[in-house]
Structure 1
Amino acid sequence: MRNRSNLYKTMLYSPPNKRWNEQTADPSKYPQGRFNPKPCRRCSTVFIPKAPSNLYCSQECSDHAWTTAYLKRTYDIDYDHYLSMLAEQSGVCALCGGEGFKMAGHHRLKLVVDHCHKTGRIRGLLCHNCNRALGLLHDDTDVIRKAIGYLEGETSIRKGSGPKRAKAQGPR
């Protein structure tokens, strides 16, 4: 059974259950018998909601708002700042140059925000693999240098000193 904090986190990080165009309610079940026009919380366009809880005029505004809320809560930036960082990096990972990918169906961003865990300073946008690699190496530049040396062949093991293969012997 989930405790309250886990349930709260699930509610915070989960996208809405229904997409904007799927939200519907029966106006006749409400006292006024209709839904009053209201301004979109993102772009201020006046629209007639499909349900009282409908806060955005379109799926685009809804996605933008949910993504901004996540980025603001987690990294203290908004979606427009993320998009400007993405443009500065030409839409690719700062390390490998790949375009990234979405880890799950509810994710909206292909590249993740990489930040220093000690200072909280944002370093750039990385694909999930590069971000995970840095995390697994504890963001330690000495370990990363050793990994580079290892990959380039600067190890203490001489060539040819690996395990010898047993020769197949014929029948006796």
Structure 2
Amino acid sequence: MDESRECGRCGQLRPTESFLGATGRSFLSCQQCREYARRINQASRDARPGSNRAMNLWTKYRITEAFYDELRSRQGYRCAICGIHEDEIPATLAGRPRKDGKPSAQAFRLVVDHCHGTSAIRGLLCNGCNSALGHFRDSVEALRRAMDYLESEPLTVPPRAVV
């Protein structure tokens, strides 16, 4: 007996396997709806003037490419925390390989740092500094404790007995 379930998008009863991706991941919508959504999204991107970079900056941070470039210039093209110049940061490809075979876009070398509470832009950081702030969950107290830890005297280890 073939099992089926209702698609969360179109409401049609579809075979259970049409809700599974190539890796076995389960989806709420059927394969036909996912493919349709992919085509619509691609057509929307193709019809939109401007770059994906501009779209990403606006969608995520509500800033323009011009503002991002002005901020880079204002910071001397350096990370606002460690001061590394963006030319010294290895250029990496962004994301997974594209299905259409086109090369992936180069990732931003300096990423936009923002307050997760207010969404206010704080500056541009290298990936390492941005990740570090993320690991500290933007907590000033946790960063102070980390500074105290780094400034503390290292532990003394008793010498090993020679056998």
1:149 & 1:114 partners in 2: Cα distance?
24
Pairing 1:104–2:93 present: yes
Number of the residue aligned with 2:59: 73
> 2:92–2:107: 8 Å Cα contact kept in structure 1?
no
Cα shift at 1:55: 7.7
TM-score (norm 2): 0.59
Structure possessing the higher radius of gyration over alpha carbons: 1
> 2:111–2:124: 8 Å Cα contact kept in structure 1?
yes
TM-score (norm 1): 0.56
Tell me the C-alpha RMSD between the 2 structures. Answer: 2.9
How many residue pairs were aligned? Answer: 114
1:78 & 1:127 partners in 2: Cα distance?
19
Cα shift at 1:146: 1.1
2:134 & 2:107 partners in 1: Cα distance?
22
Where do 4+ consecutive residues of structure 1 move more than 4 Å?
53-56
Number of the residue aligned with 1:95: 81
Cα shift at 1:163: 3.2
| Gap runs ≥5 in structure 2 | 1-20, 95-104
Structure 1 pair 54–122 and aligned structure 2 pair: CA distance change class (3 A): closer
Structure 1 pair 4–128 and aligned structure 2 pair: CA distance change class (3 A): farther
Counterpart code for 2:159: R
2:53 & 2:133 partners in 1: Cα distance?
24
Counterpart code for 1:82: Y
Identity of aligned residues (%): 32
